Chains A and B, each alone.
Chain A
Amino acid sequence: MFEHDFLAPFPEIFLINATIILLIYEVVLSTSKKYDYPPLVRNVSWLGLLSVVRLGGRVWENEEPYRYLITILLLAANAPLTVANLFYNNLIINNFTYFCQIFLLLNTASTIVMCLDYFKEESLNAFESIVLILLFTRSMLLMISAYDLIAMYLAIELQSLCFYVIPALKRDFEFSTEAGLKYFILGAFSSGILLFGCSMIYGFIGVTNFEELAKIFIGYKITLFGAQSSGIFMGILFIAVGFLFKITTVPFHMWALDVYEGSPTLVTTFFSIAPKISILANMVRVFIYSFYDPTWQQLFFFCSIASMILGALAAMAQNKVKRLLAYSSIGHVGYLFIGFSCGTIEGIQSLLIGVFIYVLMTINVFAIVLALRQNCFKYIADLGALAKTNPILTITLSITMFSYAGIPPLAGFCSKFYLFFVALGCGAYLLALIGVVTIFISCFYYIRFVKIMYFDTPKTWILYKPMDREKSLLLAITLFFITFFFLYPSPFFLITHQMALSLCL
Chain B
Amino acid sequence: MEFAPICVYLVISLLLSLILIGVSFLFASSSSLAYPEKLLAYECGFDPLDDAKSRFDTRFYLISILFIIFDLEVTFLFPWAVSLNKIGLFGFWSMIVFLLILTIGFIYEWKKGALDWE
Write the residues of chain A forming the contact surface with B, with a CB cutoff of 8 angstroms.
Answer: 20, 23-24, 27-28, 31
Contact = CB atoms under 8 A, between A and B. Distances in A.
A24 B107 contact: yes
A8 to B, nearest CB: 18
Contact of A20 (B101, B111, B113): B101
7 contacts: A20-B101, A23-B104, A24-B104, A27-B107, A27-B111, A27-B112, A28-B107
B108 interface: yes
A23 B101 CA distance: 11
Contacts of B111: 27-28, 31
A24 B101 CA distance: 11
Contacts of A28: 107, 111
Contacts of A23: 104, 108
Contacts of B101: 20
Given A24-B107, A27-B107, 4 more contacts: A20-B101, A28-B107, A28-B111, A31-B112
A23 B103 CA distance: 12
Nearest to A16: B101
A31 B113 contact: yes
Nearest to B90: A2
A23 B108 CA distance: 8
Interface of B: 101, 104, 107-108, 111-113
A28 B111 CA distance: 7
B106 to A, nearest CB: 11
Nearest to B104: A20
Main secondary structure of the interface of B (DSSP, over half): helix
Contacts of B107: 24, 27-28
B26 to A, nearest CB: 51
A357 B71 CA distance: 46
A231 B108 CA distance: 45
Nearest to A30: B111
Nearest to B110: A27
A31 B109 CA distance: 11
B76 to A, nearest CB: 15
Task: List 7 tightest A-B contacts by C-beta distance, closest first.
Answer: A27-B111, A31-B111, A27-B108, A20-B104, A23-B108, A28-B111, A24-B107
Nearest to B100: A20
A211 B113 CA distance: 47
B103 to A, nearest CB: 10
A27 B113 CA distance: 11
A316 B17 CA distance: 71
A28 B113 CA distance: 12
A83 B39 CA distance: 71
B13 to A, nearest CB: 37
Q: Which of B101, B107, B108, B113 has the most CB of A within 10 A?
A: B108
A23 B112 CA distance: 12
Nearest to B108: A27
Contacts of A31: 111-113
Contacts of B108: 23-24, 27
A27 B101 CA distance: 15
Contacts of A27: 107-108, 111-112
Nearest to B109: A27
Contacts of A24: 104, 107-108
A28 B112 CA distance: 9
A132 to B, nearest CB: 12
A31 B112 CA distance: 7
B92 to A, nearest CB: 15
A182 B56 CA distance: 23
Nearest to A20: B104
Nearest to A31: B111
B97 to A, nearest CB: 10
A24 B107 CA distance: 8
B63 to A, nearest CB: 19
Nearest to A32: B111
Nearest to A128: B108
Contacts of B104: 20, 23-24
A24 B112 CA distance: 11
B72 to A, nearest CB: 14
B8 to A, nearest CB: 41
A27 to B, nearest CB: 5
Nearest to A1: B90
A20 B101 CA distance: 8
A28 B107 CA distance: 9
A131 to B, nearest CB: 9
A53 B90 CA distance: 32
Contacts of B113: 31
A28 B101 CA distance: 16
A237 to B, nearest CB: 31
B35 to A, nearest CB: 43
A31 B108 CA distance: 10
A20 B104 CA distance: 7
A23 to B, nearest CB: 6
Contacts of B112: 27, 31
B86 to A, nearest CB: 16
B71 to A, nearest CB: 18
A23 B110 CA distance: 13
Contacts of A20: 101, 104
A31 B107 CA distance: 12
Nearest to B101: A20
B94 to A, nearest CB: 11
A31 B111 CA distance: 7
B90 to A, nearest CB: 8
A24 B103 CA distance: 11
